[in-house]
Amino acid sequence: MLSRLTSRKSILLGAVSLAASAAAVAGPCTGPGAPTTTETKCLTAVAIPGNPLRSFDISWVNPHRAEYYLGDRSNAGIDVIDTRTLMFKRTIGGFVGVILSNPGKPNEAVNNNVSGPDGVTSHGRWLYAGDGDSTLHVIDLDDLASPTKAKINTGGATRVDEMALTTDGTLLLAANNAEDPPFATLFRANGDQSFNSTTIITRITVADAIVPAGQGLSLEQPAWDPKTQRFYVSIPQIANNPNASCTFGSGGTDPCQGGLLVIDPFNPPATPLGAFNSVTGTGVISLNECGPNGATVGPHANLLLGCTPQNVGTNTSTLVINAQSHHFANIGGITGSDEVWFNKGDDRYYTASNRDCGKAGGCPAPAGGAVLGVINAETNLLIEKVPQGQNSHSVAADSKRNLIFVPQVGTTGVVGNGGDTTTVGTGICGTPNGCVGVYIHHVDRDHDDGDRDHDRDDHDHDH
């Protein structure tokens, strides 16, 4: 077993270094990001050819295709990794890439609102990805020569961000989170068919009394719950929650908390959605001590929401809410998440908590405040936290192999503004150029880890 893993690591790191010489490259999975005391073990790192990773967004796994997809702005495309061999396969290009806030200034920050790709999801052969120019890319993964079959404009001026599909892949919801006011677009998607017919069904908005225009508010990660047959969309802040005097923005002593937008895609609303209506089962649910970015559906119609002090400065926990009863529980000890993921293979939630210690600072070096959170999906209790490089805000898991993928940005010395100022990401990657760190949770210790396809015969992860 040890020789097999060592061989795999050496192969994966063969083309790692872009900024450092081959002689300077160390092996992956060292330092704080690879503790020996955790159940979630650092297995290896996958290098991404091309530009070092400065900016990326959401990631996704299709366990039946054994593929991981990353919205890689640094290389203006969707990176594809084989989750069986843990080898990079290709980058599907055609996206706008990194757009700087002030291109004429040195070391300027990335403008995430217009950069791309951003959100990404898949069903079968079809992959859907948002771009910074308000377009949805429809990609046929089976067509290696010309995979992009359509670019559909949603009518905004900023990125098509996070998205979710129904279980059968026939309906897609995507959020334009950076518009003011924000909106979501409901699409008719391709399901299992062999040809593209993706079209826009309608635009969905929230009432101005709940998400007022001109306040810089947003819609974030959607999730699909097959039990209630509804989309659930994280809203970082809503008006009048918990009171009429609450204020927008992450600062202040009385910030407004977030909400959860519930959408029935089979009866799309003709007017903006207001407060939750128990008759229609749609509208906005007010949340307690949570300004969420991420959302994922776990067991028993429970949703885990990635509350974060980036949105509401007082947030210190993570929220689980039941889609049917709306009963909730705050999970202590973990906060600051962007993307979150439920892995059916080990019945755990994984959180990309890049602000676990607050918006900035709060944690001593070299941890930096970013962690991979691991939560028991049955008990809703925090199991452990694994340190990550700064800006590690994306996570996805392969439920058939119990592999967890956490992309890492390169160091500031390599990528500049927005890079990792700690040593954690370099230890995980074995290079300062960034990578996709791969973790494993051993569930069945009686079987050889080299063949993890036996773990479960489950369905694709449904956000």
Question: In angstroms, rounded to a whole number, what is the distance separating the alpha carbons of residues 452 and 440?
Answer: 10
Number of H helices, E strands in the chain: 3, 28
CB 407 within 8 A of CB 78: no
CB 388 within 8 A of CB 428: yes
Question: In angstroms, rounded to a whole number, what is the distance separating the alpha carbons of residues 425 and 387?
Answer: 9
Report, as an integer, the average pLDDT of 14-39.
Answer: 68
Question: In angstroms, rounded to a whole number, what is the distance separating the alpha carbons of residues 208 and 62?
Answer: 37
What pLDDT does residue 367 have? Answer: 56
Quote the percentage of the chain above a pLDDT of 90: 83
Report, as an integer, the average pLDDT of 3-21.
Answer: 36
Tokens of 36: 């020996």
Q: Which domain holds residue 423?
A: 2-441
Tens digit of pLDDT for each residue in 282-310?
999 999 999 999 999 999 999 999 999 99
Tens digit of pLDDT for each residue in 357-370?
865 555 654 456 89
CB 298 within 8 A of CB 224: no
Helices within 346-423 (DSSP H only)? 412-415
Side-chain-facing half-sphere of 268: CA atoms under 13 Å: 15
CATH, residue 103: 2.130.10.10
User: Residue 11 contacts by C-beta under 8 Å, 6 or more apart in sequence?
Assistant: 87
Question: In angstroms, rounded to a whole number, what is the distance separating the alpha carbons of residues 246 and 255?
Answer: 5
Q: Region of 252 please: left (phi>0), alpha (psi -120 to 50) or beta.
A: left
**pLDDT, the chain, mean:** 90
Total domains in the chain come to 1
CB 335 within 8 A of CB 355: yes
AA identity, residue 148: T
CB 121 within 8 A of CB 112: no
CB 271 within 8 A of CB 250: no
| Residue 463, domain member (yes or no) | no
Closest CA to 26 of 431, 428, 435: 431
**E strands in 236-327:** 259-263, 283-286, 292-297, 302-307, 318-322
Tens digit of pLDDT for each residue in 126-163?
999 999 999 999 999 999 999 999 999 999 999 999 99
CB 384 within 8 A of CB 40: yes
AA identity, residue 10: S
Confidence check: pLDDT of 198 > 50 = yes
Q: Which residues pair with 187 in a beta bridge?
A: 172, 200
| Residue 377, domain member (yes or no) | yes
Specify the 3-state DSSP secondary structure of 232.
strand
CB 195 within 8 A of CB 126: no
| Residue 168, domain member (yes or no) | yes
CB 250 within 8 A of CB 309: yes
Question: In angstroms, rounded to a whole number, what is the distance separating the alpha carbons of residues 78 and 86?
Answer: 16
Confidence check: pLDDT of 342 > 80 = yes
| Residue 92, domain member (yes or no) | yes
What pLDDT does residue 253 have? Answer: 83
Side-chain-facing half-sphere of 384: CA atoms under 13 Å: 13
What pLDDT does residue 3 have? Answer: 34
